[in-house]
Structure 1
Amino acid sequence: MSTVIGDLFADATQIREAMEYYAKQEWTDGLPVVPVTESYLAEFLGMTGRDPDEAIFAVPHLNRECTVRLAAINAAMAGCLPEYFPVVLAAWDAIAKEPYPKRGIWQSTTGTAPLLIVNGPVRGRIGLNSKGNVFGSGFRANATIGRAIRLTAINVFDLHPHQLDQATQGTLAKYSACIAENEEESPWAPLHVEYGFAAEESTVTALVVRSCLHIEARHTRVPEQLALDFANTIKRTGALIHETSSALVVLGPEHAQAFAEAGWSKDDVRQAIYDRAVNSRADLVAVGKEAISRHTRWRVPGDHPDAIPDQASQGDTLDLVPALISPSAILLAVAGANNAGVSTVIETFGVRGDTPSSIARVAEPGR
């Protein structure tokens, strides 16, 4: 027995030394990572039929690309189990469909980060959390799948803070941001079914996100009042920085059910929020955001050298400026516990059109 204990301590010492070596090489996000052996890596690669050398995501301006093998190494380092790896690969497939990471948005001073939304049967198979504390800690699959993306950004694309990552303050999502949709308590079709996938398929939707704001509306079940709460959060002038803003609204089950009980569909919710997410021109003048830059389309004062009129100034209601480009710029998902009137508004880049482009199927293990 003493020999076994001694071996364990020897192994623990070697593991600790490996972890410290990884840290000295700056292969971490600041937290300890799991040392990876070739045999352990083989377990991850055995979960997919894809060539380990296949490039799954590239950032042209950095002249770097991520392969299946590199994604597997970082997933293992992040603490994923091998059975999580098909979800990690689907996440990279979804991210590859997003135009913004390729353009350097993950290096932005605004502190943008990827958010993953997982749908379908894989949620239960690997223990992804879709209910209480869905944005918080406590669930290995959520924490490590999201972390696998961040570690790859650091180790493959060299996005280290103070270097290529130029975030001014950053966001907590830059450690890990992966949730599952609470399909069981949603009154509507889940996200992936809404956008053309079968219920029995599993998918990952990838979004580029910035801030995350809670809506604690426990005082009412009147749908118009709830929609106004969401709209007032979306239209806040501190966040209204671009002419084509968009948002992800993650409804808690209670709020989703309140809308559904009033006979509202997802499209009704989107339309109601869009109609109410409007600022007056005077409010925008007060914060110096009444015009847009001809180069970036970000909001600027009317006397800025690059200023041009926004689209709203050419319409019939010149004094009213929509905060969103269209109702379809609002993505809806249901997540969280059914124990309080709490939802979340997340500022996103580029959720426009009738179908999110950044959604991918999760392949069956070994395929």
Structure 2
Amino acid sequence: MTTYATIEDIENCMENGWTDGLPVIPPYGSLVDEMLDAMGWQGQDIIGEIPSQNIVVRAEKAAATAVMAGCKLEYGRLLRAVTEGLLDPLLNISGAEVTTGGASILVIVSGPAVEELGFEHSTNALGANCRANATVGRFAQMMRYFCGRGGGVLESHGTIGHPGRISFCIAEHPETAWGPYHTQFGLPEDASAITLMSTEGPNSINNHYAETGALILDTIGDAMCHYGQTAWYYRSGGFVVVIPPDHMDLVSKEFSREQALDYIYKNARRQTDDLIAMGRIAKSPIEFAQVVPGEMRSPLKSPEQLTFIECGADGGRFSALIPRWAGSTHTVCKQIV
């Protein structure tokens, strides 16, 4: 096959809508067959459904998407876990595609697979340019796009969108102060895992001069409580706190993970009456919203809606806050087997 023919096939993929807007590797049959083997499926295996839209997803579609995204065959077992997580009804992948909130599917990789497959977990951890982060994150977004648009469903309706809708995959440090990320979902400490959730974009948190872990947690909690954050009314979704080493060194001296969760949950609050006056809460709220005028209000219904991931580099006192999409209260965490 000539180089020109390959370029022509890439252009054909783009013209036919088989793309996220960037060039893809054409899903030639031999490449898809190899990826199917790596993922442990047969092409016609039904691996998931979206019943409300009459969408049936077969393994060949997932394998072809992995090829187009540029994933390596070595990622096969991880990609299978990602695929199964994406098609879990609890994740609501089609809802994430059409929401006006412009949610992205965040992929978190934790455990030995991070080093085994070459994921970046240190410098530029939230925007890693290495192949593993970029292509696995892209695979999840392309599956969201292709599955969410199946069966004649509407185009994306994100009012302003989210750059992570091209790729959003972060990996945790192999060695952590509080144990691997996936242990927050009951998986064994020595497992490799992927965790999926629908999220907004990350918000940078800067505190260079605090001398205690409590002040770092107070800064994170304050970032959760700005007027414009999405979850004030329904308090669904949640937040992922990303803590690099410089902030983690302070926090871990004073708090266990459970203590940090409890501290933020108890202290990150805002006056309900101010939220109503600002227009962030309906004046006649529904019962589900649990609005109590005159009380301090948390953006969380429970501490379980908050998780911590340890990644990022030394050399700057930054953390980050990733708000989860308010349209889904669920996170899917799966062991890579």
TM-score relative to the length of structure 1: 0.84
Separation of aligned partners in 1, 2:328 and 2:148: 27
Q: Which has the larger radius of gyration?
A: 1
Match of 1:330 in 2: 306
SS across alignment from 1:41: helix
Separation of aligned partners in 1, 2:299 and 2:105: 23
Match of 1:36 in 2: 27
Write the letter of the residue equivalent to 1:207: M
- Unaligned runs of 5+ residues in structure 1 are 1-9, 290-298
2:196 equivalent among 169, 188, 206 = 206
- Unaligned runs of 5+ residues in structure 2 are none
Write the letter of the residue equivalent to 1:173: G
Match of 1:313 in 2: 292
Alignment of 1:13-24 (within 5 A): 13-24=4-15
The answer as to whether partners of 1:180 and 1:335 remain within 8 angstroms in 2 is yes
Match of 2:105 in 1: 114
Do residues 135 (structure 1) and 126 (structure 2) align? yes
Write the letter of the residue equivalent to 2:194: V
Deviations 1:41-83 (A, max 9, x none): 1221121333332333322222113222211100100111111
Cα 1:55–1:46 shift into 2, 3 Å: same
Separation of aligned partners in 2, 1:322 and 1:243: 11
Q: CA deviation at 1:163?
A: 4.1
Separation of aligned partners in 1, 2:12 and 2:258: 52
Match of 1:227 in 2: 217
Do residues 342 (structure 1) and 318 (structure 2) align? yes
Write the letter of the residue equivalent to 2:137: G
The answer as to whether partners of 2:91 and 2:332 remain within 8 angstroms in 1 is no
Answer 1 or 2: which has greater helix percent: 2
Write the letter of the residue equivalent to 1:330: L
Deviations 1:239-286 (A, max 9, x none): 144332411111112222211112x10011111111121111232133
Match of 1:6 in 2: none
TM-score relative to the length of structure 2: 0.91
Cα 1:192–1:308 shift into 2, 3 Å: closer
Which runs of structure 1 show a deviation greater than 4 angstroms over 4 or more consecutive aligned residues? 306-310, 350-353
Alignment of 1:234-249 (within 5 A): 234-239=224-229, 240-245=231-236, 246-249=238-241
Separation of aligned partners in 1, 2:312 and 2:78: 21
Cα 1:309–1:17 shift into 2, 3 Å: closer
Match of 1:295 in 2: none
Match of 2:208 in 1: 218
Percent pairwise identity: 25
The answer as to whether partners of 1:251 and 1:334 remain within 8 angstroms in 2 is yes
Cα 1:357–1:171 shift into 2, 3 Å: closer
Alignment of 1:64-213 (within 5 A): 64-97=55-88, 99-101=90-92, 104-158=95-149, 163-184=154-175, 186-213=176-203
Separation of aligned partners in 1, 2:196 and 2:269: 27
Cα 1:357–1:208 shift into 2, 3 Å: closer
Do residues 257 (structure 1) and 233 (structure 2) align? no
Separation of aligned partners in 1, 2:184 and 2:289: 32
SS across alignment from 1:183: coil
Write the letter of the residue equivalent to 1:84: Y
Cα 1:229–1:159 shift into 2, 3 Å: farther
Separation of aligned partners in 2, 1:210 and 1:244: 15
Write the letter of the residue equivalent to 2:317: G
The answer as to whether partners of 1:228 and 1:273 remain within 8 angstroms in 2 is yes
Separation of aligned partners in 1, 2:291 and 2:212: 30
Structural RMSD (CA): 2.5
SS across alignment from 2:202: strand
The number of residues matched between the two structures is 334
Cα 1:100–1:47 shift into 2, 3 Å: closer
Match of 1:293 in 2: none
SS across alignment from 1:18: helix
The answer as to whether partners of 2:141 and 2:165 remain within 8 angstroms in 1 is yes
Match of 1:360 in 2: 334
